[in-house]
Amino acid sequence: GYQIIERNACILPYGEIDLIAGRENRLVFTEVKARRSNDYGGGAAAITAAKIGRMYRTAQAWLKAHHKMNKEIYFLAAIVRLNQQGKPEQIDYEPIDWF
């Protein structure tokens, strides 16, 4: 499986990546969005083209800062559906491939 490398990785002035995980020669940069309902499109609707652009630039800066430019990189959205008590009920992982 994957190992968590970093949570809430902040690279100024670019932005933050919620979760970075890796295994072998692969790194996965994940944006986590949690919502109680699908009103207004749910968590997936919060991942805009502008957010994806910031995520990509932040990932590139992180790779450079950590000398990992030779890794395969992937981007995921983790869409978390919360129950009425605010506890995770379901997590869907969707690839972000809008580049």
Q: Model's pTM, two decimal places? A: 0.87
29: exposed, middle or buried (C-beta count within 10 Å: 0-12, 13-18, 19+)? buried
Q: Going edge to edge, which strands form the sheet with 88-95?
A: 3-11, 15-23, 26-35, 72-82, 88-95
In the chain (99 residues long), the average pLDDT of successive 10-residue segments reads: 97 96 97 82 79 94 96 95 92 82
Task: Provide the pLDDT for residue 97.
Answer: 78
Task: Provide the pLDDT for residue 98.
Answer: 60
Task: Provide the pLDDT for residue 19.
Answer: 98
- As a CATH number, domain 3-95 is 3.40.1350.10
Task: Provide the pLDDT for residue 72.
Answer: 95
Phi, psi at 58, each rounded to 5°: -65, -45
